[in-house]
Structure 1
Amino acid sequence: MAMIGYVLKRILMVLVGYLVAVLVGLIAVVVIYAILSALPNAPGYFELMEFTPVAVLVVPPLAMFVYFLTIILTGMQTLVFALIAEFFSLRSFWLHMLFGAAAAAAGFMLIWPDAADDPERWADTGIIAAAGLVAGLVYWLIAGRDAGFRRPLIKALPRNV
């Protein structure tokens, strides 16, 4: 019975970690575009992307739409990565960051299929992947540090024994 409770706890941690990581990843996209638009000789496109999130803040239904669209676009690959990490007890923060970047880039490719062929979208793909790195780190902080459905078999003995 304790094992079932532990697995349910891990499933809840994975879900919460994913939902928070998606939110932080979306914030990271805005921050990255804002930083890039402040660079000298930055394309005007970056300035447009810096102010687009204001519309999301002003219209809450739009914010919910963007959040849920991101969950739909990244959900399947993130589930696969989370199951791999949990099954093999992978706890490396670098690995979770790599998984986050891959999931974010794959989600972007789902919404913009010709992004790999369009040189103008390469910067967007890189920005989305960088935001995925941040999201992967947040996921690791919440759920990835203790990844693994299997609990340790041997508990550490007290030092005084």
Structure 2
Amino acid sequence: MAVVGYVLKRILMVLAGYLVAVLVGLIALVVIYVVLSSLPNAPSYFELMQFTPVAVLVVPPLGMFVYFLTIVVTGMQTLVFALVAEFFSLRSYWLHMLFGAAAAAAGFALLWPDAPERWADMGIIAGAGLVAGLVYWLIAGRDAGFRRPSIDRSA
């Protein structure tokens, strides 16, 4: 019975880690665009992207739509990555960051099929995915593994 409880705890940690990581990833995306728009000779495109989050804050249903859409387009690949990490007890922060970047880039490619032509945006999205992967690791990835850690009873 304790094993079932442990697995349920891991599933809840994975879900909570994913939901928080998506939110932090979206915030990181905004921060990256703001920083890029402040660089000298930055394209006006970056300035436009820095003000887009204002619309999301002013119109909360739009913000919930963006959050939900992000969950929908990154959910399947993130589920695969999370199951791989849990099954093989992968606890490395850099691996979770790479998983986050790959999931974000794949989600972007789902929304925009011509994404390879938008390599700058793909890199920015992947950078936000790196941050999201780190946040996921902090919440759920450090203790990844469906199997309970063995307890040394000889001490």
Equivalent residues in 2 for 1:1-161, closer than 5 Å: 1-116=1-116, 118=117, 121-155=118-152, 157-158=154-155
Moved over 6 A (4+): none
Aligned identity (percent) is 84
| Structure 1: gaps (5+ residues) | none
Structure whose CA Rg is larger: 1
CA shift for structure 1 position 115: 1.2
CA shift for structure 1 position 53: 0.5
Deviates more, 1:148-157 or 1:67-76: 148-157
In the alignment, residue 30 of structure 1 is paired with which amino acid? V
C-alpha root-mean-square deviation of aligned residues, in Å? 0.9
Cα distance in 2 for partners of 1:57, 1:22 equals 16
Cα distance in 2 for partners of 1:132, 1:52 equals 19
CA shift for structure 1 position 156: 5.9
Cα distance in 2 for partners of 1:157, 1:112 equals 57
| Structure 2: gaps (5+ residues) | none
CA shift for structure 1 position 155: 2.5
Cα distance in 1 for partners of 2:126, 2:80 equals 17
TM-score, normalised by the number of residues in structure 2: 0.98
Cα distance in 1 for partners of 2:19, 2:138 equals 13
Cα distance in 2 for partners of 1:6, 1:70 equals 29
Q: Say how many residue pairs are matched.
A: 155
SS in 2 for 1:86: helix
